[in-house]
Amino acid sequence: MSDFRCLSTNLVSNGTSPDKLWFDFDNVNGPDDALSIYKMMIKMKPLPSIRPFNSPLSRIVKLKDYSVSVYIFKDISNLGVPVNIYTLNMVINCSCNSHRVNFEFSMLGVFFKLDHMPDESTFSPLLKVVINGLCKVINTTMAIQLLRVMEKGSCRPDTHKYNMIIDGLCKDRMIDSAMKLFDKMPQKGINRNVITYNVLINGLSNEARKVYNSLPGKGIIPCSISYVILINGYFKEMKIDEAMHLFRQMPFKGLVPYVSTYTTVMQGLFRLRKCSTALLIFDEMQAAGQKPNFRT
């Protein structure tokens, strides 16, 4: 650390322009070193612009000390140094990784206050929070607000992003909210695909068959995954006849039951103590040329 301290002291004493400061932060070994350099930088008169400050901030992010990164951001803001979109995106990423949920979403307000437009780097970590099942924490309103903010900017949500949020809502059993988003997709000009329907089928129980039956009318052909999801759902509800009917229907729909399909059926049967039927399915799988894997 002594080399960094000497370099900083010399630059300050020689009157070097703060914005021309340069440190090799890749050689900083820990967050304490980067933080020490940062504290020297804030003693400079005049203060550097945000670009030199981004260097210690970026290094601490790479070292995954997210709480220190957020501390530096708050301190920079209190000093009155105007931050840029690169700074804001780093802080949002830190907040997501440290699960400071309310703080990370409040940062979106800072974007607009400073007249910065959020981009893909802004929304990706926020969407990750939703995907990882934190909808209950951030509440449904925040998840929907995230979509609305994206719609106002240049990074407009597509089918993939809607699918991710609907999936997060379904996993947290917020089915009504998921269905509302699903219903609004055509109104927003966003196409639903087979993944959209698979997410719903997986999240729904009583309504799953209705969603599945609606696919052909919408020009969407159910895939093997659609069948596996629905079969698994029927087994969870102890509806063996419905599950086996779908399983037997697959070849007539031009779909080949793969080992994952057979495994789902066997697991369901064993779970419901239909062991002899499960063993027959195992023999049938081998006869069809499907080799069992570690899950089987």
User: At which of 82, 115, 141 does a domain end?
Assistant: 82
The percentage of residues in the chain with a pLDDT greater than 70, rounded to a whole number, is 80
- 78 and 99 part of one domain: no
Helical ranges in 153-207 per DSSP H: 159-171, 175-184, 194-203
How does pLDDT run across 36-86, given as a tens digit for each residue?
888 888 888 888 888 888 888 888 888 888 888 888 888 988 999 888 989
- 71 and 110 part of one domain: no
Give residue 126's pLDDT band: very low, low, confident or very high (50, 70, 90): confident
Nearest residue to 71 via CA among 60, 83, 82: 60
Res. 92: pLDDT tops 80: yes
How much is the pLDDT for 269?
A: 93
Helix, strand or coil, per DSSP, at residue 222? coil
Res. 26: pLDDT tops 80: no
| Full DSSP string of 71-85 | HHHHHHHHTTPPP-H
Give residue 139's pLDDT band: very low, low, confident or very high (50, 70, 90): low
In a domain, 198, yes or no: no
Residue 138 or residue 262, greater confidence: 262
In a domain, 22, yes or no: yes
In a domain, 58, yes or no: yes
User: At which of 26, 60, 82 does a domain end?
Assistant: 82
Residues 6 or more apart whose CB falls under 8 angstroms from that of 107 comprise 88, 91, 92, 95
Residue 139 or residue 273, greater confidence: 273
How much is the pLDDT for 19?
A: 53
As a whole number of angstroms, the longest Cα–Cα distance in the chain is: 86
What is the mean pLDDT of the segment spanning 239-266?
Answer: 89
In a domain, 209, yes or no: no
Q: How many domains does one find in the chain?
A: 3
Residues 6 or more apart whose CB falls under 8 angstroms from that of 86 comprise 54
Compute CA distances 196 → 112, 192, 291, whole Å: 31, 6, 30
How much is the pLDDT for 13?
A: 42
- 63 and 132 part of one domain: no
- 95 and 180 part of one domain: yes
How does pLDDT run across 60-72, given as a tens digit for each residue?
888 888 888 888 8
How much is the pLDDT for 270?
A: 92
Helix, strand or coil, per DSSP, at residue 15? coil
Most confident stretch, 161-165, 173-177, 196-200, 247-251:
247-251
How much is the pLDDT for 265?
A: 92
For residues 157 and 120, give the distance between their C-alpha atoms in angstroms, rounded to a whole number: 10
Q: What φ, ψ does residue 260 adopt, rounded to 5°?
A: -65, -35
- 163 and 184 part of one domain: yes
How much is the pLDDT for 10?
A: 41
Range of the domain at 62: 1-82
**Least confidently predicted of 45-54, 134-143, 162-171, 172-181:** 134-143
Query: Cα 281 to the chain's mean position, in Å?
Result: 37
- 5 and 48 part of one domain: yes
Res. 97: pLDDT tops 60: yes
- 53 and 94 part of one domain: no
For residues 252 and 231, give the distance between their C-alpha atoms in angstroms, rounded to a whole number: 16
Nearest residue to 269 via CA among 223, 246, 236: 236
How much is the pLDDT for 8?
A: 45
- 236 and 255 part of one domain: yes
User: At which of 31, 58, 82 does a domain end?
Assistant: 82
- 78 and 100 part of one domain: no
> Which tokens belong to 102?
């309310």
- 112 and 68 part of one domain: no
How does pLDDT run across 210-251, given as a tens digit for each residue?
676 777 777 777 788 878 888 888 888 788 898 899 899 889
How much is the pLDDT for 3?
A: 43
Res. 5: pLDDT tops 50: no
For residues 99 and 179, give the distance between their C-alpha atoms in angstroms, rounded to a whole number: 27
- 88 and 183 part of one domain: yes
Q: Buried (b) or exposed (e) across 120-150, using 16+ Cβ within 10 A?
A: eebbebbbebbbeebbeebebebbbebbebb
For residues 180 and 211, give the distance between their C-alpha atoms in angstroms, rounded to a whole number: 14
In a domain, 212, yes or no: no
In a domain, 206, yes or no: no
